[in-house]
Amino acid sequence: MPGDFVDFGEFVQATLPGLLRYGHALTGNPHDAADLVQTVLEKMGSRWSYVHEKTGDPLAYVRRSMANAHVSRWRRTRRENLVADLPDTSPHVPADPFEHEPLWRALRTLPPRQRAVMVLRYYEGLSEAEIARALGVTQGTVKSQASKAIAALRMRLKPADDESEGSGAG
């Protein structure tokens, strides 16, 4: 399937829902996910002939570009921005429906590469080889990042499971 798309429009139409899901899992909210997908697809659209002919798997190339763009954006925005005056009002931000889901909260705490591996493996259903290609790492790195991520998620989710079983709340 990845190499079947000759036209960029067909590629976007077929892969957009999956890319938005991947972006949501990377960024933690649907709005940043849409921005991330749009930014990456804009770049890919202007270079589509190269991406399609040279990479062999445009979907993996786009996923890797999304992961790289997310990490770059995260590095840029984590710096402090000092302002002289505080704004008068705070804008209304709608609540994220996954904000209080324990798994999503735990997933957000993972480092970007571990989060990307977990999303690609368990949310997108990719194999270790496909994930390694998409992220530009070895299969061993994929395995170790997945192992570390699963261990971290187990540690973060275990207390929540114990508390919910003991309280009878669900």
pTM of this structure: 0.49
Rounded to whole angstroms, what are the CA distances from 37 to 18, 69, 100, 130? 10, 10, 24, 19
pLDDT digits (tens, 9 = 90+) for 95-132: 767 667 888 888 888 999 999 999 899 888 889 999 99
